Structure 1
Amino acid sequence: MAGRLTNKRAVVTAAGQGIGRAIAAAFLAEGAEVLATDLDAAKLEGLAGARAAALDVRSDAAVAEFAAGAGPVDILVNAAGIVHHGTILDCTDAEWALAFDLNVASMHRTIRAFLPGMLERRNGSIVNIASAVGSTGSAPNRYVYGATKAAVIGLTKAVARDFIRQGVRANAICPGTIQSPSLDERIAALAAQNGLSLEAARQAFVDRQPMGRLGTPEEMAALAVYLASDESRFTTGQTHLADGGFTL
């Protein structure tokens, strides 16, 4: 089926790479008008057809200014985030603050900015990228990351409940381990910290996935298309696990 998002306008944060970029590309392929944003605008090159813009989602002023210039949208995808490695004993106050600001408060900012337009039109779909770790907390050394992603799930459900009669839906996607530039960085860090080869470090991430492989950004994007489209108009406030069996 093609054209599933025809006549819809979408904002996608962190669209420069990984899951965010795959979602922006999938939305474009389905006919949406896409406003693709990233802190580093250079990463948005190659997203043919998208309106690309630099956006610091950690800035109240920047988000408000961007939303005012963008106008009303039908879809908001919050994909910005950071993964902190370690237990509570490895997490400084600064790292805790950064993780919650980027992973959770950024969504608060963008939703607050775009929700009024959705409410005025009585139509909107918000898709937040959470994590399978936020759903279960079962991955080791993901203390603050798991805490932030659990908060994202709570935020999503709260928004869904508050505006359920006003045409706005909110859902969360909870990926397992997904191949991305961010994962490549974590693999390199794991290898360096433990004296492993890159191949061995990568295999450690693969081995924790019951399917025996990593997920792809495109697989997450396919779910985002569904949640953004009218096909899912009876679906709100849900956590959609796309984790290769990680939480089984």
Structure 2
Amino acid sequence: MSKLTGRVALITGASKGMGKSHATIYAKYGANLILVDLDESVHEVAADIQKQYGVEVLAQVCDVTDPQAMRLIADKGMQRFGKLNALVCNAGVCRFARFLDSSDAELDLHINVNIKGAWHTARAVLPHMIESGGGAVVVMSSITGDMTADPGEVAYALSKSALIGFTKALAVEMAPYNIRVNAICPGFVLTPMADQVARQVNPDDPESVLVELAKAIPMKRLARPDEIGELSAFLASEESSYINGAQIVIDGASSITETVSVGI
């Protein structure tokens, strides 16, 4: 029996990138899935995963910024599977803008999707998780904000650092219900979001941005999405049964180095 066999996980932002990786890894370990995304391609992802791993997958086009919509999909998942054991708050956005040039709309986007999205999703799922006897929540934060930052990341850093406080406070509140809440803090990962960031920084040569990013990481490469998915599956399983309220960094040691030019 695999470590997630018989469990049911709801994953947001599941159509691509890290969300798709979470879904694939969870299915590999036997979990049935509820996949949520704004993109219609989430249905194709669900069909592919179901065919490859033989698990049951419910896909839903849904906006995490809409609390009523999130309640409806959580209710639908509970009706379909009879339980909810894991939640991955993965849906997120990143838009670069210098602080003095940024707009209220850019700030609101990060708050609404990254912070309120996690809030609304957890509010929708946790009552069902309590009813199911407990489970695990994985919040996708970042090293950006709480540990590091680059110019142009103020709104993103604000939103991702807020998720650390959200994780810690929620972990304390949910512990009596046998629910653990942990945050994953990745560095740069080879995902469509990383490509988007690279295009924002250098529209004419985005690949060069990714190359320079890799050079600045001690391991000399960006993370693969599956490496994040494996950590997430571990946190959702009983293998991590006493890990609660933690922020786990997975960044190839990129947040340790002081500079890329000083040192012997």
Q: TM-score range by the shorter chain?
A: over 0.9
Instruction: Within 5 Å, give how 1:190-209 maps onto structure 2.
Output: 190-192=201-203, 196-209=204-217
Alignment partners' CA distance in 1, 2:20 and 2:183:
17
1:61 to 50, 56, 68: 68
TM-score by length of 2: 0.88
What residue is the counterpart of 1:12 in the other structure? 11
* Equivalent position of 2:238 in the other structure: 230
Q: CA deviation at 1:122?
A: 3.0
Instruction: For 1:187 and 1:38, locate their aligned partners in 2 and report how far apart those are by CA, in whole Å.
Output: 23
Alignment of 1:1-248 (within 5 A): 3-46=2-45, 47-49=48-50, 50-71=57-78, 72-192=83-203, 196-248=204-256
4+ residue runs over 4 A deviation? none
* Unaligned segments of structure 1, at least 5 residues: none
Structure 2 gaps of 5+ residues are 51-56, 257-264
Please state how far the C-alpha of 1:177 moved relative to its aligned partner: 0.3
* Secondary structure of residue in 2 paired with 1:127: strand
Q: Give 3-state SS (helix, strand or coil) of 2:177's partner.
A: coil
Deviation at 1:110, TM superposition (A): 0.9
Q: Is the 8 A contact 2:42 2:61 kept in 1?
A: no
> Given that residues 210 and 246 in structure 1 are in contact (C-alpha distance below 8 angstroms), is that contact kept between their aligned partners in structure 2?
yes
What is the aligned residue count? 244
Contact 1:190 1:201 in 2 (8 A): yes
| Deviating more after overlay: 123-132 vs 46-55 | 46-55
State TM-score, norm by structure 1: 0.93
Over aligned residue pairs, what C-alpha RMSD do you find? 1.4
2:183 aligned counterpart, secondary structure: strand
What letter corresponds to residue 21 of structure 1 in structure 2? K
How big is each residue's C-alpha offset from its partner over 1:180-202, in whole Å with a ceiling of 9 and x where there is no partner?
Answer: 1121122122222xxx5233222
How far does the alpha carbon of each residue in 1:81-110 deviate from its partner, in whole angstroms, 9 at most, with x for none?
011213321321111011011001011101
1:124 is displaced (CA, Å) by 1.3
Counterpart for residue 261 of structure 2:
none
Q: CA deviation at 1:9?
A: 0.3
